Chains A and B, each alone.
Chain A
Amino acid sequence: MLSAGPGGGSMEEGVYYRAVSGGRIALQRRQHSASCREFSVRCPRLQLRSLSAATCSVWLVAYGLFVLSQNSMVLSAAIFITLIGLIVYLHFVKIDQESLLVIGSLGIQMTSAYASGKESTTFIEMNQVKDVVINEAIYMQKVIYYLCILLQDPLEPHRVSEVVPLFQSSKPRLDCLVEVYRSCQEILEQRKTETSPEL
């Protein structure tokens, strides 16, 4: 009786944007209730080209070593390395989808789903969230924009204690970030109107 459904009472939008690297990413927005929204960004998939190129180069090197040393262990070692490397890459490195769940009075949750199905989640409580902003950064020869959460220590609300960047693997461009930023700000403003009339 407790199950998670894919749909159910929420608006879905799948819009295509571009990432900083040029790949195509998809943004999906869902509104679960008046104060709960979810944003999912799907990263570009693993290309067959790059996978074949990596595998071929490893095996060429292994075959070259085999010709030099005439030891067949080199070939089996190369196969082993390719398999282990692929599994490690899919499980620890390649992120398929990043999502942000904003619940008005509870907090903000960030989930990263890896290509092997593993999910890593972080939840930040609302009393620690100071604001959500778009920041600029110099990355190699480019200037890129990224969305980040400013954290505050509840004991010292006027100081920013930490900056948590969002969507680090998919790196959407400014147009996509602006959409997410506007939605988040609508929910964050609600909490301000909630606390002030009670004082």
Chain B
Amino acid sequence: MVFKVYFPSCCASAESGLLIGRWIPEQNSAVVLAVVHFPFIPGQVKQYLSEVQRVTQVNMSVLGSWSNSKQEKQKSLDKFLEDLSTIFSHEPWIQLSKERDSKVWSCCTFQKHPSIPKEDEFILVYYDQRKVMLSQLHPPDNLTTSAGHKRDDASKLTAVFDTVVKSKVLFMTDRYDDGPIKLTHWQSEGVEASIIVELMKQASVPVCMLLTFLLSLVSSVCKSRVLKFWPLSFIWSKLSTCEQLGHRLEHLQIISSNRKAQNQTQLMRFCVKANIFVSLFIDMALGILLMSWLYRENRIGQLADTLIPVADHIAEELQDLLQWLMGVPAGLKMNRALDQVLGRFFLYHIHLWISYIDLMSPFIEMILWYVGLSACLGLTVALSILSDIIALLTFHIYCFYVYGARLYCLKIYGLSSLWRLFRGKKWNVLRQRVDSCSYDLDQLFIGTLLFTILLFLLPTTALYYLVFTLLRLLVVIVQGLIHLLVDLIDSLPFYSVILRLCRSYRLAAGVKFRVLEQKAGKPLRLLMQINPLSYGSVVQTYRLPTYACYPKDSWSSLCKKLFVGELIYPWKHKGEKQD
């Protein structure tokens, strides 16, 4: 029979006394929680234990005796300890003893009715009570099912951790309290507490209530009917700034709410709120830093002064590009008439755009100045505004892309349909397949004519489509990078990472054992330490949910869409309706 005794390392230097804790019969293991010192009255000890058992729901009892003899072994003390086993009947009765100046301990048990006479083997596992109490095992195991029965196959270590955590009440008395019983445990030198933590706990309740009130006001304003009219709601959904602000509003609501989520322990819930809080704090700190840098030395004015020339420069570059396409681009010979039509059409658009920019130029500085103030709401908001400004400035590229893509798409569909006619086949809409069909002579004649025209006009349209698609993809990639950065700041769990850095025992992936000095014939001694979670798992477990932008299509479907001429929207936002 192998007996395991989990002994707290803080009690290793305690005076002789009784061991109290929990006996787990399925695992043949005893979890020692504290040591009761002499003198005590057995009746009072039993009463105290039953009170603690009622409060903590942990099956606590006197497990055995502990003797830490400073002098030579005393026979009388042994007899006394044996007699104690008759007073506190517990099966089996464990006797731990440690001699002075000796590192190895001895352990034996008394069993009133030994079932099978076998050699007992003992394993002594030392654990740090404070760390085991404060740590949280990942993944969190819910030991009790809905019926309240404990699962038989529950992890052994979770049972040990659970026992220590639930016995919190036992550790609330220290040795300066005047009680009938003197205990030794991790807080017996003095109960640990922190003034800052207590003050923050007291202050958090009114702050949360105020925050909830303010947030309900803001969200009622946002949800009002005035802002739901069609043009406004369309604009709100397209601007990434509004999405980011709404996201942050949700985060604030999570902090101030008291909802208890399923499958999450207290530490995890606290971590979620703390992560959001630290993320908001860092965001605002960086935003204010950015703002102080921007508003110094009139940088806003400089930015506004360079913005208009940059927009003009882009428009001029586009005009040069179109002139190049209207000529002999890359040595290819274009169809002159179509080339001129398309080129002039796009040039007229650019002319409209340049005049629009010139109209806006006096107001740009003022607009930028006020918009820059919103950077104090956070760096993520500033980056979202930047992304929106880029989208607005390159709106003409988007329009050109749409025109080119639609034209090209029409051409491709026309070509494929007429190609089928050329071979004598037809697309059967009812059966969704290609069927053979006999055409009239004039149908064949016109069809072939149109097919030839479309085929020879294909290179021109394809070139315009290619050029504008590349430009559009460039803009999309830049916007995607900005959104990636915003996402990173939004979702990174800063508090959990700092906790893992400073107090690594709070986030435990498991335990690890170290074998201590052994002596033949004495029980095996192991030191149980907390194995902290790796940084990757910390980030993965505590990641804040975001409206992440991730690629909607795989590479192959993206290429197919590009080839056919369908409009691509490479970044899909979570929660957007599928097109």
Residues of A at the B interface (CB closer than 8 Å) are 1-5, 8-10, 32-36, 38, 101, 103-106, 109, 111, 121-123, 125, 127, 154-155, 194, 197
* A2 engages B121 (CB within 8 Å): no
Select the stretch in B350-358, B408-416, B458-466, B516-524 that faces chain A: B516-524
Partner of A4, one of B121, B155, B522, B527: B527
How many residues of chain B are within 8 Å of chain A by beta carbon?
A: 34
- Which chain B residue has the least Cβ–Cβ distance from A9? B518
Q: Chain B's nearest CB lies how many Å from the CB of A30? A: 8
Partner of A103, one of B13, B513, B522: B513
Mask for B156-194, Cβ within 8 A of A = 1, else 0? 110000000000000000000000000000000000000
On chain B, the residues within 8 Å of A33 by CB distance are 121, 123, 518, 523-524
Mask for B504-526, Cβ within 8 A of A = 1, else 0? 00000011111111111011101
* A121 engages B531 (CB within 8 Å): yes
* A123 engages B519 (CB within 8 Å): no
* A10 engages B518 (CB within 8 Å): yes
Partner of A3, one of B4, B517, B531: B517
* B527 engages A125 (CB within 8 Å): no
Q: Chain B's nearest CB lies how many Å from the CB of A111? A: 8
The 28 sampled A-B contact pairs (Cβ below 8 Å) are: A1-B13, A2-B9, A2-B516, A2-B527, A3-B517, A4-B515, A5-B517, A8-B518, A8-B519, A9-B517, A9-B519, A32-B515, A32-B518, A33-B123, A35-B121, A101-B513, A105-B4, A106-B125, A106-B156, A106-B513, A111-B512, A123-B513, A125-B155, A125-B156, A125-B157, A127-B153, A155-B153, A194-B2
Given A34-B121, A104-B2, A125-B155 in contact, is the A4-B531 Cβ separation under 8 Å?
A: no
A8 to B517, CA, bound (A): 6
* A36 engages B515 (CB within 8 Å): yes
A1 to B1, CA, bound (A): 28
On chain A, the residues within 8 Å of B518 by CB distance are 5, 8-10, 32-33
Which one of B512, B520, B527 has the greatest number of beta carbons of chain A within 10 Å?
A: B512
A110 to B493, CA, bound (A): 29
* A123 engages B517 (CB within 8 Å): no
A101 to B524, CA, bound (A): 13
Q: Chain B's nearest CB lies how many Å from the CB of A170? A: 20
B126 is an interface residue with CB less than 8 A from chain A:
yes
A4 to B517, CA, bound (A): 5
A146 to B462, CA, bound (A): 57
Given A122-B510, A127-B155 in contact, is the A1-B103 Cβ separation under 8 Å?
A: yes
Lowest 8 A-B CB distances belong to which pairs? A154-B153, A9-B518, A5-B517, A33-B524, A121-B512, A8-B517, A105-B2, A8-B518
* B517 engages A35 (CB within 8 Å): no
B303 is an interface residue with CB less than 8 A from chain A:
no
A157 to B125, CA, bound (A): 27
A105 to B27, CA, bound (A): 9
* B126 engages A2 (CB within 8 Å): yes
- Which chain A residue has the least Cβ–Cβ distance from B4? A105
Q: Chain A's nearest CB lies how many Å from the CB of B531? A: 6
